Amino acid sequence: MLYRLYEPADFERLYALEKVCFQPPLRFSRGYMHSLIDAADSATWIAEDDGAMAGFSIVEWTRDAARTIAYIQTIEVAPDQRGRGVGAELLHRMEQSAVAAGAASIWLHVDAENRPAIGLYQSRGYLCEGRREGYYGRGTSALIYEKLFQPPA
């Protein structure tokens, strides 16, 4: 498995995987996906298996006067690649990008019913900080997880 940063030529394969992993209304639009990837304060990681896109992830960070905080926009793994550690490695790469950007913490929303993802986050030191009812628009709640990189100031 090859892990690397996104290149513009990856977009069509990346968006094809988005279509496999998410159905409307949960699927990001092409324009929104471009805006996430093209943002200066973000990193998009690609996982490739023999030239085929096995997964990707997008993390972004925001800075204010006090600190930098990272947010995981998405981790997507092709169905035939799940259970092979691709998501865990993409998560690790996003954390490295966030730390390099000076992030004090990283957080995310996850479908409250997505047990494999929740297990991954918990195994990597993420703590559940809350719940948001109806977050995904179909009555499904989101859990909010966070991992601290630096102690709060």
Q: Has residue 153 been placed in a domain?
A: no
The token pair at 43 is 């990193």
Residue 82 is part of which domain span? Answer: 2-148
User: What's the confidence (pLDDT) of residue 140?
Assistant: 85
User: What's the confidence (pLDDT) of residue 23?
Assistant: 85
Q: Has residue 133 been placed in a domain?
A: yes
User: Structurally, how many domains does the chain consist of?
Assistant: 1
Q: Has residue 91 been placed in a domain?
A: yes
The token pair at 128 is 């559940």
Q: Has residue 11 been placed in a domain?
A: yes
Q: Has residue 143 been placed in a domain?
A: yes
User: What's the confidence (pLDDT) of residue 151?
Assistant: 62
> How many angstroms separate the Cα of 68 from the Cα of each of 5, 90, 100, 121, 143?
21, 20, 11, 20, 22
> pLDDT 10s digit of each residue in the chain, 153 long?
999 999 999 999 999 999 999 888 888 999 999 999 999 999 999 999 999 999 999 999 999 888 899 999 999 999 999 999 999 999 999 999 999 999 999 999 999 999 999 999 999 999 999 999 988 877 789 999 999 996 655
